[in-house]
Structures are given as C-alpha cells and as structure tokens.
Structure 1
Amino acid sequence: MQRVWFNKTFSSVGTAMRLIREADMAATGGKPRYHIVCSNTNAHAAAFLSAHEYAVEPPGLKGLNYVEWCLEFCRERDISIFWPGKEAGLIGTASARFAAIGTRVLSVATEEVLDLMHDKARFCDGLDLPMARPAEYRAVASIAEYDAAYAQLRPRYPKLCIKPSESVYGLGFAVLDEERSSAQLLLEGASYHINAQELRSGLAQMETFKTLLLMEYLDGHEYSADCIADHGSLICAVPRKKLHAPGSGQLIELRDDLLSACEKLTRDYGLNGVFNIQFRVGASGLALLEINPRMSGGIGMACAAGPNLPYLALAGFDQGYDKLSVPAIREGMRVAESAYAVELP
C-alpha cells in the first residue's frame, strides 16, 4: 500500500482526498492502493475527516526548518508519496533528499516557476499567450506610479480594477468605482468595489506600498480550468464557466481557445500534477488571469463532469499515465456545490 501525505494546504484538499479514496476503492475492487495521511496546524481541520490518518503540525515552522520537519515526518510515517502544499517550492527542490528516504515528491512545478507564478506582475511580463493575452496592466508601487498608470489606462478603458501582485483567492481585488462612495458601495452590497478617489487618497497617504496591478477591467464571463499534466504534457483540462445569474451554478464548456491556452501554458512552464488556470472574457476576447499551482476550491465541481482529477494525477504519478483511462468530459453539464454540516475532530 502506498502511503500518501498531504501537508498543510488550502481547504479543497478535503474534497481531493475524498475523491481519491472513492476512485481508489472503485479501481481496486475494495482493496485500496492508497492510504491517505493529512496534516495541518489546526487540530480541528475539517480536511482530517477525509483522510485515513491525520496529524497536527507544529505551529510557526517555515522555510528550511519546515523542510527538515517534513523529512522527519516522512521517515516516521513511512510516506511513499508526498503531495506538498505549504512550502511546495522548497520541498520540490529538496526532492532528492526525500527520494533518498523512499519518498517521492509530487510537485506542480520547479521552485523558480512557482515563485514566478506567485508574482503576477513578473509572470505577465514574460508571458507569450496570443490566444488569451492578459488584460492590459501597469505595476505600481508608489503614488507617482499609480497616477501615471491611471492617466495612461483610464482614457482607453471605461472601467479599471486593481489587485495585489501577490495574492490568493482574489484577496485585495477591487473594481474602481468613480461614482459611488465607500458608504454607498457598502450599503448597496457592492462587494469587490472601491471608490476610485478614496483609493487614491489612501495610497497617497502611504506614498509607497506593496506592488499593485492597475488593470483594464474585464466584464465578461470568468472561466476556471482545473487541469492535470505530466511534466509539461497536458492530460486533461475541465473548464467551468461561472454564470452571472445568482444560484445558476457553473457550466462545463470546452472552448478551443481556452484549451489551447491551457496546453501551451502547461508546456511552457513544465506544469505537473493538478493545477488551476483562470481566464476572463473582455472586449478583446479571452484573457488569462492567473495560474494557481494547486487544486482550486471548485475541484469537486470539475470532477462531477467526469474525470476524477486528483485520483488521476496521483495514479498517473505513481503508476504512469499510460496505464490510465481518462473519462470523457460532460460538456454542457451545469454544476454547483452543496454544503452540509459535520462534526469536527
């Protein structure tokens, strides 16, 4: 039996572990090949409920100290495959040390590529993606740079937006509103909006700040593509179109330009395992938003359309993709998520 460890990561790991266990039982006739171990610094993490075995990580560890702890954890727990979340770049770089104790590391990309993808400004600067060019943007880190960028972009686009160069889950993203005050936006429930003048005043008070991207706002549909790949070769991509009407769910839609973009990005950056690529439609067509080098929060919705992506990525890494059959994607399927209550560990 292969002992597979998921360390501290995003909450979607719970869904991924459940999907792996379900597919593993079906593939082996009830005699599972994979024993799932999950760890987190939170002793009551909901993801523990989806694992065979769980452990609490010591708080405060990071960097090389965390890598050393992971090596010892793999020795003590006899881990066969390590699928890292926290410190994934450093752990991938140390893969030879893990291999020496019998642990294979499933890395999405090299440490250099992961660092690049986490810095949206630097990533977009070197991007070559003609079928889904990113929205026009300017990287700004001072009020002078912000004013210059605004003067360049605002005459060309009816709406602008802003987001941190380094962020996850859309934290810090906001559309600039030139008409409504912050109080009006709050009372009208206009989430992800900020008054343009108040934003500028706040930035001016700081003078310099962490790098932000001032961008053309793309007002079309957003697409989230959950992908699996084998060291630069795209195996499968399941795109979900996020519908605008509240409660209408998401639509599985296989756009040729989007799939071509996923294939090129996978090849160009040598991507591997499970990752997520986000796009949005604007006046010029499909545009890349970002690559998330991890499972998305909506991974379960993608898998409902056919391919069990976490299981396929694990089994492909473990046994080789040539031994796997990837189910057809149910294009046109409408998907959503349904929450239910559980008792925590």
Structure 2
Amino acid sequence: MDNPANPNHRTMPIAAWLAEGQSSQRDMLASLQALKTQSTTPFNIIASHRHHRPEIFEFADLVYREPVNTAANNDEHTQAESILPRWQFVLEEAQRQNVKVLLTGRNGIDYEAHRETFKAAGIRLLTGATSVAALQSIDDKFAFMQHCHAHDIPVADAWRFDNTAELEALLAQHGHQPLCVKPVTGIFAQGFWRLDTGKPSGERYDSFEHLYFTEEKKINTTQFINAYANSQMVHERPIPMLLMPYLSGQEYSIDVVCEHGEVLAAITRHKTGKIQHIGYEQSVMEVVIPLIEAFGCDGIVSVQTKADDDGQHRVLEINSRPSGGIGYTAHSGVDLTQVGFAYWLGLTDKPKLADITQQITPCQVRSIMMSVKIEEVTAE
C-alpha cells in the first residue's frame, strides 16, 4: 500500500523497525545487519528505545527515542512537534521511513489496539498475537492456564490467591506436594519461589538459606506466609499470585517464528549448568505447535515448558516477544531473527517448519559477559 506520509517512498528502501524490547534488541539488530549484507534487496534497519542506549543503537541505520509516558523526547532524531502516545509517534515516523515491518517489543498491547491503523499504513505489525484479548490472556498466567485447559493443551496447574486467607486455604488442600508461587503477571522469574511443602518436617528449607542463596529461589513456607501477610508493598498494591505444583523435570525454552497461529520455524533449548543445548526436540514441539495455534500467536515469541514427574512436557507460559536468548539460535545454522524478517520483508518465500528443522545443527552454547563503551568521558 502507498504511504501517503511520504510521497517519495517509492524511491526509498523499505525498512524494518525494532521498538524497545526486554533484552534481545541488540542481538536481533546485529542479525538484521548480517541479513542486510546477504540480501540483494536493500532495506534499512530502525531501532527505538525510551532511553539513550548507544550499545543498541550502534546496530541500527536510524534511531529514535520513544516517548516516555505520553510525551515524546525531542532530539535530533525524533523531531516531534507535539505530545503523542508511543504508538502514534512510532506510526507517523514509520510512515515517513517506508517501514514495512514493526516488531513492537515490550509494549505490544499498546500497539495492538491500533492494528487496523498500522495495516492501513502498509505496516506489518508484530506484537506476538493479533488481538488485545489474546495478549492479555497470554500475560495473565491464570487466564493463560484456563485457555490451555479449554484447548486440551498440557499446562502446569495453578491456583490463584489474592490474600493470606486464600493462600492458607490452598496450602491446606494442596500442601502434601512440592509447590511454588509466582505472580499472575511478571517476567524474568520475578516473585517466583519454591516452597518446602511435601517434605518431612526435618527437611524444611533453612530460614536463612533463601537470603543467602537467592538464585536457588527456595523459601520456607511459614516464612513466605508471614512475609506475604505483613508486606506493606502488598497492602498498598495488591499482587495477585499463583500457587502451583513444582514440576521436577527438564525445563525448555522455545523460540518460535509464527504467523496467525502457524509455526513457521522454531528452535528448542534447555540448560544444564551454564550450558545451553540448542536443537529441535520433537516431543516438546508436540506441545508447542497446538499452543501457538490456540493463542493465534503472530511474530517472534518464546515459550517455556517443563516436564512433570512422568516426563510429560507441560506449558509454563508464552512470552509474546522474542526471548533474551534468541541470538543463540544463530549457532545452530538457523538464525530465527533472519528467518522471520526475511519473510516479512518479502526477501524470501514463507518458511516451512519441516524445511527449517532439517537445517538445524544441534549444538551447545555458553553465554559470556562483554562490555561496550557507550560514552567518552573528558576530564574537567
């Protein structure tokens, strides 16, 4: 569709825009730059973020500062003349730059509410789904579980509690087994704790252990109840929580390129110690493929699963955006960022999952820490 905001768009290269993400924006931009060098069709790569992030922006051809709250941050790149909501600011700039594909990153619901407006501008919007309702159901872990049950998808069970009385009633009913807690909404395992239920009294978690070994995410059940009941934070801002059986099996993260509920490409990975094992686990994908269809996922998303005591893979959650580890997929010979964007930009035909799986070379990956200089400091 013609872009009315830019009468010269026919002579401009098409563009892909990666808006502010959670943790993988830099890696994805680097993948797109590599794709750009391989492509016979020129295209531009645009990145935006609400903060000044030169280590991200160095991989983009054009950068923008996104509006914070509802006010645009004017600088040499934004040139905003009025206060605009983020989605409208991005839309107007995307029209000027002949953007054909927009990955929304962390603010998908804000953009999704205006899908038809982006579609009318000729922009392929990638939010992780194709409706606000679907994204809300993905973000709400209790609603997510119910939707999975309705579609006969193996999912980790969960019971919601909103106060101490409800928590204690649930523990009385289910406390004979290993349990864990986590917020109804959240990312990066924030608020997740394993409880010491289902253990003989002499094997309770040490009350000091969870303060000392925080990465183990273990807490004494009585101590958790006391902290929750007396929390000023919870009193001022109630946090809906879930009580869940703790699954003991292998956890998987699955990066998925999908379109309207169809899996186009996927790579599975699981972790042992510090090592990521990259490949394509068919038994895991037998759960993931119907899951993506049930939620109508669209774009690049990530899924977490975990096996129960019987080895049955159960879904934990969908993240409606790329995972922090999507860059690892390039080591397998299949860079999922490139696969998805090459298709959405019209550089390649629609990927077929059966073909993609044949191109994956299983491998092991270790992540390392690196540093980049973001600003020159001059002595005063």
Q: What residue in structure 2 maps to residue 225 of structure 1?
A: 254
Q: What residue in structure 2 maps to residue 274 of structure 1?
A: 300
CA distance in 1, matches of 2:175, 2:283: 28
Match of 1:168 among 143, 167, 187: 187
CA distance in 1, matches of 2:54, 2:223: 38
Alignment of 1:152-231 (within 5 A): 152-155=173-176, 157=177, 159-177=178-196, 179-188=204-213, 191-205=216-230, 209-231=238-260
Give the CA deviation at 1:326. Answer: 3.6
Structure 1 residues 288-334: Cα deviation after superposition (integer angstroms, max 9, x where no partner)? 11011111011011231122111211122232863557473445411
Match of 2:346 among 319, 324, 340: 319
1:108 aligns with 2:117: no
Q: What residue in structure 2 maps to residue 119 of structure 1?
A: 140
Q: What residue in structure 1 maps to residue 28 of structure 2?
A: 16
3-state SS of paired residue (1:50): coil
Match of 1:61 among 47, 51, 70: 70
Give the CA deviation at 1:23. Answer: 2.3
CA distance in 1, matches of 2:228, 2:124: 46
Structure 1 residues 55-76: Cα deviation after superposition (integer angstroms, max 9, x where no partner)? 22232229x8222222232244
Alignment of 1:265-344 (within 5 A): 265-284=291-310, 285-319=312-346, 322=349, 326=356, 328-344=358-374
Q: 2:28 touches 2:327 (CA, 8 Å); kept in 1?
A: yes
- Structure 1: runs of 5 or more not aligned: none
Structure 1 residues 85-134: Cα deviation after superposition (integer angstroms, max 9, x where no partner)? 24312313313322444433233212211111000001101214888622
3-state SS of paired residue (2:187): coil
Greater displacement, 163-172 / 333-342: 333-342
Q: CA 1:185/1:86 → structure 2, altered by over 3 Å: closer, same or farther?
A: closer
**Equivalent residue letter for 1:302:** T
Match of 1:44 among 50, 53, 63: 53
- Structure 2: runs of 5 or more not aligned: 1-12, 72-83, 198-203, 376-380
3-state SS of paired residue (2:243): strand
Q: What residue in structure 2 maps to residue 258 of structure 1?
A: 284
**Equivalent residue letter for 1:52:** D
3-state SS of paired residue (2:254): strand
Q: 1:232 touches 1:268 (CA, 8 Å); kept in 2?
A: yes
Structure 1 residues 175-226: Cα deviation after superposition (integer angstroms, max 9, x where no partner)? 1146234423333455312221111012223587321111111122210010
Q: CA 1:136/1:17 → structure 2, altered by over 3 Å: closer, same or farther?
A: same
CA distance in 2, matches of 1:282, 1:327: 26
Q: CA 1:253/1:104 → structure 2, altered by over 3 Å: closer, same or farther?
A: closer
Q: 2:252 touches 2:304 (CA, 8 Å); kept in 1?
A: yes
1:145 aligns with 2:175: no
Q: 2:66 touches 2:86 (CA, 8 Å); kept in 1?
A: no
Give the CA deviation at 1:286. Answer: 1.4
Structure 1 residues 145-165: Cα deviation after superposition (integer angstroms, max 9, x where no partner)? 10111112111x1x2110001
Q: CA 1:45/1:218 → structure 2, altered by over 3 Å: closer, same or farther?
A: farther
Q: 1:129 touches 1:261 (CA, 8 Å); kept in 2?
A: no
Q: CA RMSD in A?
A: 2.5
Q: CA 1:323/1:165 → structure 2, altered by over 3 Å: closer, same or farther?
A: closer
CA distance in 2, matches of 1:24, 1:327: 23
Q: CA 1:327/1:260 → structure 2, altered by over 3 Å: closer, same or farther?
A: closer
CA distance in 2, matches of 1:270, 1:130: 12
TM, length-normalised to structure 2 = 0.81
3-state SS of paired residue (1:80): strand
Q: 2:148 touches 2:291 (CA, 8 Å); kept in 1?
A: no
TM, length-normalised to structure 1 = 0.88
Q: 2:67 touches 2:86 (CA, 8 Å); kept in 1?
A: no
Q: 2:100 touches 2:345 (CA, 8 Å); kept in 1?
A: no
1:5 aligns with 2:26: no
Q: 1:161 touches 1:176 (CA, 8 Å); kept in 2?
A: yes
Greater displacement, 168-177 / 249-258: 249-258
Q: How many residues align?
A: 336
Q: CA 1:95/1:199 → structure 2, altered by over 3 Å: closer, same or farther?
A: same
